[in-house]
Structure 1
Amino acid sequence: MYQKSVLPNGIRVVSETIPYVKSVTMGIWIGTGSRFEEEYNHGISHFIEHLMFKGTAQRSAKDIAEVVDAVGGQLNAFTAKEYTCYYLKVLDSHAELALDILSDMLLASKFAEEDIERERQVVIEEVHMYEDSPDELVHDIHLDTVWPSHPLGRNILGTTDSIGRFNRELVMEYYRNFYTPENMVIAAAGNITHEELVKLASRYFSAMTGQRRIMAITAPRLTPSQTIISKDIEQVHVCLGTLSVPQDSPEIYPVHIMNNVLGGGISSRLFQSIREERGLAYSVYSYQNNYKDAGLLTVYAGTRPSNINQVLDLIMENLKDLKNKGISQQELIKSKEQIKGSLLLGLESSSSRMSRIGKMEVSLGKFISLDQVVSKIDQVTLTDINQMIERMFTTENICFTALGPVDAAGIDTNFKF
Structure 2
Amino acid sequence: MSAASPESEGLPRIHRLANGVRVVCDPMPGLQTLALSVVVGRGARSETEAQNGWAHLLEHMVFKGAGQRSARSIVEEIEAEGGQINAATGHERTSFQVRALKGGLPLAMDVISDLVHRPVIDAGDLEREKQVVSQEIAEAADTPDDHVFELAQAQAFSGHALGRPILGLDATVGAASRDALAAFHAGLYGPDAIVVSAAGAVEEAELLDLVDRHFAADARAEPPAASGPARFVGGAAPVTRALEQSHLVLLLPAPGLTDPDYFALRLFAEILGGGMSSRLFQAVREERGLAYAIDAYADTHSDTGVLGIYVGAAAKDAAEAAKICAAEIGGLIGRVEPAELARAKAQLKAATFMARESALARAEQAAGQVLTFGRLFSVEETAQAIDAVEAADLARLGERLLGPRACAGAVLGPRPAMKAARAFEVELFG
Contact residue 9 and residue 206 of structure 1 kept, 8 A: yes
| Superposition map of 1:158-307 within 5 A | 158-213=168-223, 215-307=225-317
What code does the residue aligned with 1:369 have?
A: S
Contact residue 15 and residue 357 of structure 1 kept, 8 A: no
What code does the residue aligned with 2:62 have?
A: M
Aligned to 1:116: 126
Contact residue 240 and residue 418 of structure 2 kept, 8 A: no
Aligned to 1:350: 359
What code does the residue aligned with 1:150 have?
A: H
Report the secondary structure of 1:185's partner residue.
Answer: strand
Distance 1:223 1:410 in 2: 19
Contact residue 145 and residue 223 of structure 1 kept, 8 A: yes
**1:397 and 2:409 are equivalent in the alignment:** no
1:395, CA displacement in angstroms? 7.5
The 1:177–1:410 alpha-carbon spacing in structure 2 relative to 1, beyond 3 Å, is closer
What code does the residue aligned with 1:311 have?
A: A
Report the secondary structure of 1:155's partner residue.
Answer: coil
Distance 2:193 2:73 in 1: 28
What code does the residue aligned with 1:31 have?
A: G
Distance 2:82 2:226 in 1: 43
Aligned to 1:40: 50
Distance 2:216 2:59 in 1: 22
Report the secondary structure of 2:104's partner residue.
Answer: helix
Contact residue 75 and residue 87 of structure 1 kept, 8 A: yes
What code does the residue aligned with 1:316 have?
A: A
Aligned to 2:390: 381
What code does the residue aligned with 2:20 have?
A: G
**TM-score (norm. length: structure 1):** 0.96
Aligned to 2:3: none
Q: 1:319 aligns with which of 301, 315, 329?
A: 329
Contact residue 315 and residue 416 of structure 2 kept, 8 A: no
What code does the residue aligned with 2:427 have?
A: F
The 1:254–1:168 alpha-carbon spacing in structure 2 relative to 1, beyond 3 Å, is same
Distance 1:65 1:342 in 2: 31
Deviations 1:191-238 (A, max 9, x none): 212222111111122222132326344222222321211112221111
| Superposition map of 1:329-368 within 5 A | 329-368=338-377
Percent of aligned pairs with the same amino acid:
30
**1:14 and 2:7 are equivalent in the alignment:** no
Contact residue 228 and residue 407 of structure 1 kept, 8 A: no
Deviations 1:57-97 (A, max 9, x none): 31111111211111110100000000100010101211111
Larger displacement relative to structure 2 (122-131 or 215-224): 215-224
Flag structure 2 segments of 5+ consecutive residues without an equivalent: 1-10
Distance 1:416 1:253 in 2: 23
Distance 2:187 2:227 in 1: 15
1:39, CA displacement in angstroms? 1.1
Larger displacement relative to structure 2 (23-32 or 118-127): 23-32
Distance 2:153 2:416 in 1: 20
1:409, CA displacement in angstroms? 6.5
Distance 2:392 2:290 in 1: 33
What code does the residue aligned with 1:346 have?
A: A
Distance 2:145 2:291 in 1: 13
What code does the residue aligned with 1:37 have?
A: E
Distance 1:131 1:32 in 2: 25
1:245, CA displacement in angstroms? 0.3
Larger displacement relative to structure 2 (356-365 or 193-202): 356-365
Distance 1:408 1:374 in 2: 41
What code does the residue aligned with 1:177 have?
A: G
Distance 2:12 2:80 in 1: 30
1:179, CA displacement in angstroms? 1.3
The 1:249–1:175 alpha-carbon spacing in structure 2 relative to 1, beyond 3 Å, is same
Report the secondary structure of 1:2's partner residue.
Answer: coil
Report the secondary structure of 2:320's partner residue.
Answer: helix
Distance 2:35 2:58 in 1: 22
Q: 2:81 aligns with which of 54, 57, 71?
A: 71
Contact residue 41 and residue 170 of structure 1 kept, 8 A: no
Contact residue 2 and residue 16 of structure 1 kept, 8 A: yes
Q: How many residues align?
A: 416
Report the secondary structure of 1:148's partner residue.
Answer: coil
Larger displacement relative to structure 2 (407-416 or 342-351): 407-416
**1:416 and 2:428 are equivalent in the alignment:** yes
Over the residues paired in the alignment, what is the CA RMSD in angstroms?
Answer: 1.6
Contact residue 327 and residue 428 of structure 2 kept, 8 A: no
Distance 2:241 2:372 in 1: 37
Distance 2:21 2:314 in 1: 51
Distance 1:122 1:205 in 2: 31
Larger displacement relative to structure 2 (269-278 or 145-154): 269-278
**TM-score (norm. length: structure 2):** 0.93
Distance 2:64 2:227 in 1: 32
Aligned to 1:49: 59
Distance 2:418 2:108 in 1: 56
Distance 1:395 1:253 in 2: 20
Contact residue 56 and residue 108 of structure 1 kept, 8 A: yes
Distance 1:213 1:205 in 2: 17
What code does the residue aligned with 1:111 have?
A: I
Distance 1:319 1:383 in 2: 15
Distance 1:410 1:65 in 2: 48
The 1:118–1:187 alpha-carbon spacing in structure 2 relative to 1, beyond 3 Å, is same
What code does the residue aligned with 2:345 have?
A: K
What code does the residue aligned with 2:154 have?
A: D
Distance 1:186 1:409 in 2: 46
Aligned to 1:25: 35
Contact residue 190 and residue 223 of structure 2 kept, 8 A: no
